[in-house]
Structure 1
Amino acid sequence: MPLHLLPIRSAGAAENMATDFLLLKRYPETGDTPAARFRHYGWHRPAFTFGYSQKIAAVRAQLPGGGEDDPVSGNRLELCRRPTGGGVVDHRDDWTYALVIPRGHDLEAARAIESYRAIHQALADALAAQGANVRLQDPAGQPGAAAFLPLPDTGNSGDASRRRSGTNAAAPAAASVCFVQAEPFDVIDARTGQKIAGAAQKRTKNGLLFQGSVWCPAAEAALLPAPLPPPPLRRRVRSTATPFTTPSPPRSPACCVWKPKRHRGPTLPKANSMRSPGTTPRPNGTLFANPCRTRPA
């Protein structure tokens, strides 16, 4: 199945939620095989979203300042209902995305908890490739328990979705806050258990809408520290010093030390080698003519 990656853009809370829903309801198809759609986006102002089944009064009670103004920036908070379920999500410092799976795909036909696990496993693998120490929240700590446990707050919308997920649980009466407690198959920090990523789903006759959020501070805290030098290097460094000897400071190579040379002047041939016939050397090494020898006529 092809995948369409849509452009990144920022908008208000109402426009972002409407765009995600239209990607599910009225996306133009150009080929015989419908394509999956993926986008991630930003927010014009501080925003909160809440699930389709939540009560607005209960939601406002969970927001800072009663949902009027952001106590940090002073800007007015935006509040909007999502087409999917779930609790209250703070979008002031998160990475938000939407994935639409059309009808006919195995992931769309699977139960809600299975699609939730598969998509979050792909997200956890992507975070691990960036150096984050993450894993999925274990449902009840028992292998295979996910097949029998309902997904408490992932947004299984409508009776058809509840039948697919194998649960008839009603929507919660109180507004829950996302990233406070991890649900089964949420992405969490493997060391601290802090929730990093959550999501909500909605299934219709057009397919599956999956809205997810990655909490950036928690994801940054899960990054692993820089790796240490390899063990062979550490052993080699330790082997240069013993309890009985003190390692001497490193010496410069001989080729890098400059030594001045003494100037001896030009090298001249020995005086005796320059003697010509009719000359004898003086005691001090100089040459002089032999007065007793006569030149031939």
Structure 2
Amino acid sequence: MQETWAFLDTGHHDAATNMAIDEALLHWHSEGKIAPTLRFYGWKKPSLTVGHFQNVEKTIDFSGIERHDCDFVRRLTGGSAVLHDDELTYSIIVSESHPKIPHSVNKAYYILSQGLLEGYRELGIEADFAYPERELLRDRSAVCFEQPAIYEMVVDGKKISGNAQTRKDGVLLQHGSIPMSFDSNMLFDLFKFSSERLRERQRNAFEKKAISIYDIKKKEHTYSMLKEAFLKGFQKSLNILTEPTELTKDDWHYIHHLAETKYRTKEWNEHRRKKAGSVSS
């Protein structure tokens, strides 16, 4: 019999609220209040999220964030900065002890990210992991900075999706971005560079290493189109049924409180975290 997971489409919110929802779902699942959950969401305006441990003082140009009117928030998960804009974002919240979830970080990524591959196939895009399965299933934690990360998905050698994962209170949270298009000019305006020449060189290098759905299909896609494709993808890959659910008034009260007291604070967002527990691509 197929297991039923909750499916939550929270629509478009600001960056602090989006991160607060993910943390709230993790907390509620750890308490047994909600089923394993697949969540889809978007962003009210361009938003830069930085990894749990990232030193933003050295890397992020906050004047660029102001110029582009971007949101800024630190994630629970690790990895480097991601600009969320024209995309569908997903999160998966499930117990570490769930029979579908391997103990190995690499293997868990491999299992959960199959839904992305299936979703891209629904759109007529043949994506694959940057590394073959035999490499993914090795218990190693990092690869050379200049090479694709072990969990990345690529099309024709170019990265198409970024994902991050953390485990807390016995619960696994994996979330990631599925870009419909990129604005590389905005992206590289949000970082510090020693010279404009270096900024331009890095931007050109990025455009050779990353690709969006629009770049591949040469036509615009909507949030609803991606929602339909990737919902089917995760249902198929995880062999689950999904039941649409909504947040209650009390749920939103908790989320807004968490957003205000944590994800909108300078203390959380601008200081580097120092404890381990997250990985990302």
What does the per-residue CA deviation read over 1:258-281, in whole Å, with 9 as the maximum and x for residues that have no partner? xxxxxxxxxxxxxxxxxxxxxxxx
| Aligned-residue offset at 1:204 | 1.5
| Structure 2 partner of 1:84 | 77
CA RMSD of aligned residues (A): 2.8
Q: Which runs of 5+ in 1 are unaligned?
A: 71-75, 154-171, 226-297
The higher relative CO (CA closer than 8 Å, separation ≥ 6) is in 2
AA of the residue aligned to 1:121 = Q
| Structure 1 partner of 2:140 | 150
CA contact (8 A) 2:78 2:166 kept: yes
Compared CA separation, residues 133 and 81, structure 1 to 2 (3 A)? same
Compared CA separation, residues 181 and 224, structure 1 to 2 (3 A)? farther
Secondary structure of 1:106's aligned partner: coil
Secondary structure of 1:54's aligned partner: coil
Superposition pairs for residues 120-131 of structure 1, below 5 Å?
120-131=113-124
| Structure 1 partner of 2:254 | none
CA contact (8 A) 1:59 1:88 kept: no
Q: Could you tell me how far apart the structure 1 residues matched to 2:58 and 2:9 are?
A: 35
Secondary structure of 2:162's aligned partner: strand
Which moved further from structure 2: 107-116 or 12-21? 107-116
| Aligned-residue offset at 1:105 | 0.7
What does the per-residue CA deviation read over 1:226-269, in whole Å, with 9 as the maximum and x for residues that have no partner? xxxxxxxxxxxxxxxxxxxxxxxxxxxxxxxxxxxxxxxxxxxx
| Structure 2 partner of 1:188 | 154
The TM-score, its normalising length taken from structure 1, stands at 0.56
Compared CA separation, residues 78 and 181, structure 1 to 2 (3 A)? farther
Compared CA separation, residues 118 and 108, structure 1 to 2 (3 A)? closer
Secondary structure of 2:49's aligned partner: strand
Secondary structure of 2:113's aligned partner: helix
Q: Could you tell me how far apart the structure 2 residues matched to 1:150 and 1:58 are?
A: 28
What does the per-residue CA deviation read over 1:196-220, in whole Å, with 9 as the maximum and x for residues that have no partner? 1111001122310001111213123
Q: Could you tell me how far apart the structure 1 residues matched to 2:118 and 2:125 are?
A: 9
Whether 1:46 and 2:43 are equivalent positions in the alignment is no
Superposition pairs for residues 269-288 of structure 1, below 5 Å?
none
| Structure 2 partner of 1:67 | 65
Structure number with bigger Rg: 1
| Aligned-residue offset at 1:91 | 0.3
User: Could you tell me which of 194, 203, 222 is aligned with 2:216?
Assistant: 222
Q: Which runs of 5+ in 2 are unaligned?
A: 182-211, 220-281
CA contact (8 A) 2:13 2:43 kept: yes
User: Could you tell me which of 209, 224, 233 is aligned with 2:173?
Assistant: 209
Compared CA separation, residues 3 and 21, structure 1 to 2 (3 A)? same
What does the per-residue CA deviation read over 1:61-120, in whole Å, with 9 as the maximum and x for residues that have no partner? 4x7x533221xxxxx111100011111111022221111012421344421111111222
Q: Could you tell me how far apart the structure 2 residues matched to 1:148 and 1:66 are?
A: 39
| Aligned-residue offset at 1:224 | 9.4
Q: Could you tell me how far apart the structure 2 residues matched to 1:109 and 1:125 are?
A: 20
Q: Could you tell me how far apart the structure 1 residues matched to 2:39 and 2:154 are?
A: 22
AA of the residue aligned to 2:134 = G
AA of the residue aligned to 1:186 = E
Bigger fraction of residues in helix? 2
AA of the residue aligned to 2:77 = T
AA of the residue aligned to 2:120 = L
Compared CA separation, residues 145 and 109, structure 1 to 2 (3 A)? closer
| Aligned-residue offset at 1:223 | 3.6
The TM-score, its normalising length taken from structure 2, stands at 0.59
Aligned length: 186
Secondary structure of 1:8's aligned partner: strand
Secondary structure of 1:80's aligned partner: strand
User: Could you tell me which of 91, 105, 109 is aligned with 2:98?
Assistant: 105
Secondary structure of 1:127's aligned partner: helix
Secondary structure of 1:6's aligned partner: strand
What does the per-residue CA deviation read over 1:13-42, in whole Å, with 9 as the maximum and x for residues that have no partner? 011101101100124746xxx621111112
| Structure 2 partner of 1:2 | 4
CA contact (8 A) 1:131 1:224 kept: no
Compared CA separation, residues 7 and 111, structure 1 to 2 (3 A)? same
Secondary structure of 2:9's aligned partner: coil
Compared CA separation, residues 82 and 135, structure 1 to 2 (3 A)? same
